[in-house]
Amino acid sequence: MEQRSYQALKAIKKEAGKSNSVYMTTVRFGQVLGFSQQSASRLLIELEEKGYIRRKLENRKQVIEITDSGLEVLYGELNELSRILSQDMRVVIEGGEVKSGLGEGRYYVSRKGYIVQFQEKLGFIPYLGTLNVKVDPLYEGGNLRRMRSSEGIRIEGFKTEDRTFGAVKAFRARIGGRRLRSYPAGALGLHRYDRGHIKRIPKGENSGSRTVPG
């Protein structure tokens, strides 16, 4: 993304502190960035059009809220800096609740376009199904956002004659701080259309593979 947009999002987040929204006038926004009021106004419009922020009036004051897309930009930059500075990239998610899915996990996981990539990139063929875990709200903030913004191990999307299948991400995982030994690396996939859930691949009968957060 453009450096100007990133700097603007960073400035808004700095003003907002632990929250993702803040009362901020266009004049104040311009002062923080060293822009004129006109330039600041155009930049806010640009950020809103890109889906990085939302604006509304409360008590005749402008409220600027950073959206999920905007937060992913910021956490993506955090991940990039961590890689450059060789910092620990581990993300710990300690709690969640198993939830019923839509019953479509077996269908998606069994698609040849995914299976071939699982074998090539993860080193195993998973059990043909999923286990969906609703992450505890306590861990849904920075940890999960940082994971979503990470590159991970990308499983590319593909097309068949009648439909398109989207790309997903996989991540190395541990259980209780111990790396699983039954396969080369754990793989934690983020559910691509329900961002509040983590998709886990249960133990496979032949591969001995399991995917879990931790």
What domains, with CATH codes, occur in the chain? 3-84 (1.10.10.10), 96-200 (2.40.30.30)
What torsion, rounded to 10 degrees, do the Cα atoms 56, 76, 121, 100 define? Answer: -40
Q: Measuring CA to CA, how many Å separate 99 from each of 109, 132, 144, 145, 169?
A: 18, 6, 18, 20, 20
Sign of CA dihedral 6, 11, 14, 16: negative
Comparing 208 with 151, which gets the higher pLDDT? 151
For residue 79, what pLDDT band results from cuts at 50, 70 and 90?
confident
- Tell me: pLDDT of 203 over 50: no
Comparing 159 with 84, which gets the higher pLDDT? 159
Report the distance separating Cα 83 and Cα 93, nearest Å. Answer: 20
Report the distance separating Cα 208 and Cα 125, nearest Å. Answer: 9
- Encoded amino acid at 168, one letter: V
Rounded to the nearest integer, the mean pLDDT of the chain is 75
Q: pTM of the entire structure? A: 0.47
Helices (H), the chain: 3-16, 26-33, 37-49, 68-84, 105-109, 112-117, 142-149
Which two tokens mark 63?
């409220």
**Which one of 36-40, 79-83, 94-98, 205-209 scores highest in mean pLDDT?**
36-40
Contacts of 20 (CB under 8 A, 6+ apart): 13, 65, 66, 71
- Tell me: pLDDT of 31 over 70: yes
Report the distance separating Cα 3 and Cα 1, nearest Å. Answer: 6
Averaged over 77-99, what is the pLDDT?
A: 70
Which two tokens mark 4?
């100007």
3-state secondary structure of 80: helix
Comparing 86 with 67, which gets the higher pLDDT? 67
Q: What is the pLDDT of residue 207?
A: 35
Q: What is the pLDDT of residue 93?
A: 66
Regarding beta strands 164-165 and 168-170, do their DSSP bridges make them parallel or antiparallel, or are they unpaired? unpaired
Regarding beta strands 61-66 and 131-135, do their DSSP bridges make them parallel or antiparallel, or are they unpaired? unpaired
